């Protein structure tokens, strides 16, 4: 087994598949690249890269324009199907659109995967500030309203596993990085009924989040509303946004029973 053919493989991985995944990663980051560029980036032999690309192309995952390879739209089809694993994506988008129109702010829906929050949908209202979040982004759970809403309703064993396994990184000077302080914050979230990101992920931006549960009570994901801290006051969250996000969460939950 040589380094070129097996890359970073271990006894628990298949080197050829791992290398194909790394090539896909390069194509994603570069939005298209040639054999030489990929080989240089990954320190692979050109012949190995060419073989992987030929296979990916024959399976429809890669397309070729002249000497440049890029990811195909098949990934879009897969992504749209995967989104429905969590909740009916059509219903989610409709509710996010209504919530964004009603509040004027940025609205997100996300779920937990491997101890991180994955953004599955985002809609901007008419006075929303631009945020760096994108569909597909993976973000920390401890510093986001989506993540804290989900953590607060998780079984304690799973919650503690995530807190212990993932570093509580300091995203801003307001991020909670102490495990005990985070657990106390999550207890307040359960009692209050919604989570608050108090400029903990992005300075100047506050968010309110609420969990969305499946018919069996299992957590499907969470909804959040994000906006400038001057607009996202405690009073507005408590008196206005709480009811709006709760209504949207309820619509998604009810429709999930019949989807």
Look at residue 139 and tell me whether its pLDDT is greater than 60.
yes
Give me the chain's average pLDDT, please: 89
- What local confidence, expressed as pLDDT, does residue 11 receive? 44
Instruction: Please provide residue 49's backbone torsions phi and psi, each rounded to the nearest 5 degrees.
Output: -60, -45
Confidence of residue 3 (pLDDT cuts 50, 70, 90): very low
pLDDT in tens, 64-84: 998 899 999 888 777 777 766
Higher-confidence residue of 106 and 84: namely 106
Judged against a pLDDT cut of 60, whether residue 114 lies above it is answered with yes
- Predicted confidence band at 147 (pLDDT cuts at 50, 70, 90)? very high
9 pLDDT band (50/70/90 cuts)?
A: very low
Tens of pLDDT, residues 226-259: 999 999 999 999 999 999 999 999 999 988 765 5
Q: What is the pLDDT of residues 165-198, one digit of tens each?
A: 999 999 999 999 999 999 999 999 999 999 999 9
Enumerate domains of the chain plus CATH numbers.
3-72 (1.10.10.10), 79-256 (3.30.450.40)
Mean per-residue pLDDT, 102-115: 95
Q: Measured between alpha carbons, how far is 120 from 122 in angstroms, rounded to an integer?
A: 7
Percent of the chain with pLDDT over 90: 71
224 — pLDDT class (breaks 50, 70, 90): very high
Question: What integer pLDDT is reported at residue 186 of this predicted model?
Answer: 98
Distance CA 107, CA 100 (A): 6
3-class SS of residue 207: strand
pLDDT for the residue 95: 95
Contacts 24+ apart (CB under 8 A), 64-70: 65/32, 67/34, 67/35, 68/32, 68/33, 68/34, 69/27, 69/32, 69/33, 69/34, 69/35, 69/38, 70/27, 70/31, 70/32, 70/33
């Amino acid at each position: 087994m040589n380094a070129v053919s097996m890359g970073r493989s271990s006894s628990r991985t298949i080197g050829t598949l791992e290398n194909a995944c790394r090539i896909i990663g390069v194509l994603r980051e570069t939005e298209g690249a040639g054999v030489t560029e990929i080989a240089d980036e990954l320190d692979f032999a050109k012949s190995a890269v060419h073989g992987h690309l030929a296979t990916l192309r024959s399976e429809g995952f890669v397309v070729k324009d002249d000497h440049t390879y890029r990811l195909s739209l098949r990934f879009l089809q897969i992504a749209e199907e995967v989104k429905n694993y969590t909740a009916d994506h059509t219903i989610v988008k409709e509710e996010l659109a209504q919530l964004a129109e009603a509040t004027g702010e940025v609205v997100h829906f996300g779920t937990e995967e491997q101890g991180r929050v994955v953004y599955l949908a985002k809609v901007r209202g008419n006075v929303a500030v631009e945020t760096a979040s994108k569909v597909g982004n993976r973000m920390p759970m401890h510093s986001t309203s989506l993540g804290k809403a989900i953590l607060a309703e998780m079984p304690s064993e799973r919650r503690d596993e995530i807190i212990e396994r993932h570093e509580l990184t300091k995203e801003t000077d307001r991020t909670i990085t102490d495990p005990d302080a985070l657990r106390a914050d999550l207890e307040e979230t359960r009692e209050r009924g919604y989570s608050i990101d108090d400029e903990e992920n992005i300075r100047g931006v506050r968010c309110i989040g609420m969990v969305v549960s499946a018919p069996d009570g299992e957590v499907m994901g969470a909804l959040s509303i994000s906006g400038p801290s001057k607009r996202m006051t405690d009073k507005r969250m408590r008196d206005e946004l709480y009811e709006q996000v709760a209504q949207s969460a309820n619509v998604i939950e009810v429709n999930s029973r019949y989807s």
